[in-house]
C-alpha cells in the first residue's frame, strides 16, 4: 500500500485525501496532510496525520502531491527539497507551473503534472496529466491510478496541451455555471420564481447531458431536433448568432489558454 503526503489541503488537497481513502489507495495512517492554514486542521483530522509544515516524515513516503496555490510554491520548494529521495513521485496539480520549473527548484526528476477540475469532489472530475522526460512508466501508471480516484484521466504527451486542458476542463465548470446562472436570471425576468427557474434550467442541463451521451446523433443534429422552422428555439439561436455568442465563447476559451501560458512564464 502506498504512503502519500499532500502539501496544501484546501479544496483540491482535501478532495484527493478523501478520494484515496474512499478507494483504499492509502491507509489513513499512511496519509500525511501538510496544511498551513490552522482553520483547515480540524476538518482534516478524520482523513490522515495532519501537520502544519514539511518535516523529515516526508522521507518515508512514496508519493508527494503538491496542491498549494502556485504563488505559494516558492516557499514550499526549499523545504521539500531537503527531504526528497529520487525514488519518490511528485504529482503537482498547481496551475501554470511547468515541469521544468519543478525539476529545477526541487532537484528532482520523477514528476507528473496534472490539471484536475472541481467535479473531482464527487469523483466526476476529468484530469489531464503529463510527465517529465525522466519520469518512469511505473511512476506514470501510479499517478494515473491515484488521479483516477477523482474521475476520468487523460494522459497528454505534450505538456503544452495542459494549457488547453486548463481552458477547457480546468476552468470549464465555471463556464457552465455562468450559462446556467444567466438562464435562471432570464427566467426570473420572465416572471418566474427563482427556485422554479433553477429547477427547470438545471434539470434541462442534466437531461441534455445524458441525451447527448446516449445518442448516436451529432451535436448539430441534436440542436436541429429541438429547432423547428420559425419556432422559439430558432428565435433564440438567431439572436445568439446575431450577437456573436459562439465566437464570444471561443474567445473566452482562447483567453483562458493565453492566461495559462502567461502564468507558466512567471
Ligand atoms: N480549484 C480548482 O478548480 C483547481 C483546478 C485545477 C487545479 N487547481 C490547483 O490546485 C491547487 C490548490 O487549489 P485549491 O483551490 O485547493 O486552493 P486552496 O483551497 O487555497 O488550498 C491551498 C491550501 O494550501 C495551503 N498552503 C499554502 N502554503 C502552504 C504551505 N507552505 N504548506 C502547507 N500548506 C500550504 C493554503 O493555506 P492558506 O489558506 O493559509 O494560504 C490552503 O489551505 C492550486 O495550485 C490550483 O492551481 C485548482
Q: Could you give the percent of the chain with pLDDT greater than 70? A: 100
pLDDT in the model for residue 40: 86
123: alpha, beta or left? (left if phi > 0; alpha if psi -120 to 50): left
Tell me how far the alpha carbon of residue 67 lies from the centroid of ligand 1, in angstroms.
5
pLDDT (tens digit, 9 = 90+) per residue, 28-73? 999 999 999 988 888 999 999 999 999 999 999 999 999 999 999 9
pLDDT (tens digit, 9 = 90+) per residue, 120-171? 999 999 999 999 999 999 999 999 999 999 999 999 999 999 999 999 999 9
Residue 241 has pLDDT above 90, yes or no: yes
Lookup: cell for 99: 515541469
pLDDT in the model for residue 217: 97
pLDDT in the model for residue 39: 87
Tell me how far the alpha carbon of residue 200 lies from the centroid of ligand 1, in angstroms.
34
Lookup: cell for 125: 472530475
Tell me how far the alpha carbon of residue 132 lies from the centroid of ligand 1, in angstroms.
22
Question: Which candidate, 266, 256, 257, places its Cα nearest to that of 101?
Answer: 266
Lookup: cell for 35: 496544511
Lookup: cell for 220: 448539430
At residue 243, what are phi and psi to the nearest 5 degrees?
-95, 5
Residue 266 has pLDDT above 80, yes or no: no
pLDDT in the model for residue 265: 78
- 93 with 66: CB under 8 angstroms? yes
Cα gap 64→80, rounded to integer Å: 10
Q: What is the mean pLDDT of residues 195-199?
A: 98
Q: Which residues contact 198 (CB under 8 A, 6 or more apart)?
A: 184, 187
Which protein residue's CA is at the shortest distance from atom 39 of ligand 1? 37
- Record the pTM: 0.94
Q: Report residue 1's pLDDT band, with 50, 70 and 90 as the boundaries.
A: confident
- Measuring from each residue's beta carbon to the nearest atom of ligand 1, which residues come in under 6 Å? 7-8, 10-13, 34-37, 40, 67-70, 72, 75-76, 93-95, 115-118, 170
Cα gap 121→150, rounded to integer Å: 7
At residue 53, what are phi and psi to the nearest 5 degrees?
-155, 165
Amino acid at each position: 500500500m502506498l504512503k502519500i503526503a499532500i502539501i496544501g489541503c484546501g479544496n483540491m488537497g482535501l478532495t484527493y485525501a478523501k478520494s484515496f481513502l474512499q478507494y483504499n489507495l492509502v491507509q489513513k495512517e499512511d496519509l500525511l496532510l501538510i496544511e498551513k492554514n490552522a482553520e483547515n486542521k480540524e476538518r482534516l483530522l478524520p482523513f490522515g496525520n495532519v501537520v502544519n509544515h514539511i518535516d523529515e516524515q516526508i522521507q518515508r513516503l512514496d508519493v508527494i502531491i503538491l496542491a498549494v496555490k502556485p504563488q505559494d510554491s516558492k516557499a514550499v520548494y526549499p523545504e521539500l527539497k531537503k527531504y526528497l529521495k529520487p525514488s519518490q513521485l511528485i504529482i503537482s496539480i498547481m496551475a501554470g507551473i511547468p515541469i521544468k520549473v519543478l525539476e529545477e527548484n526541487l532537484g528532482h526528476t520523477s514528476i507528473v503534472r496534472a490539471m484536475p477540475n472541481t467535479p473531482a469532489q464527487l469523483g466526476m472530475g476529468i484530469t489531464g496529466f503529463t510527465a517529465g522526460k525522466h519520469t518512469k512508466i511505473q511512476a506514470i501508471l501510479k499517478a494515473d491510478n491515484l488521479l483516477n480516484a477523482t474521475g476520468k484521466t487523460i494522459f497528454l504527451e505534450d505538456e503544452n496541451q495542459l494549457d488547453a486542458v486548463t481552458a477547457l476542463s480546468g476552468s470549464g465548470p465555471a463556464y457552465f455555471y455562468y450559462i446556467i446562472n444567466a438562464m435562471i436570471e432570464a427566467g426570473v425576468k420572465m416572471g418566474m420564481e427563482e427556485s422554479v427557474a433553477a429547477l427547470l434550467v438545471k434539470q434541462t442541463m442534466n437531461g441534455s447531458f445524458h441525451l447527448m451521451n446516449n445518442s448516436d446523433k451529432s451535436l448539430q443534429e441534436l440542436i436541429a431536433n429541438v429547432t423547428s422552422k420559425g419556432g422559439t428555439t430558432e428565435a433564440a439561436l438567431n439572436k445568439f448568432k446575431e450577437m456573436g455568442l459562439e465566437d464570444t465563447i471561443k474567445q473566452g476559451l482562447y483567453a483562458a489558454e493565453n492566461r495559462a501560458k502567461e502564468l507558466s512564464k512567471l
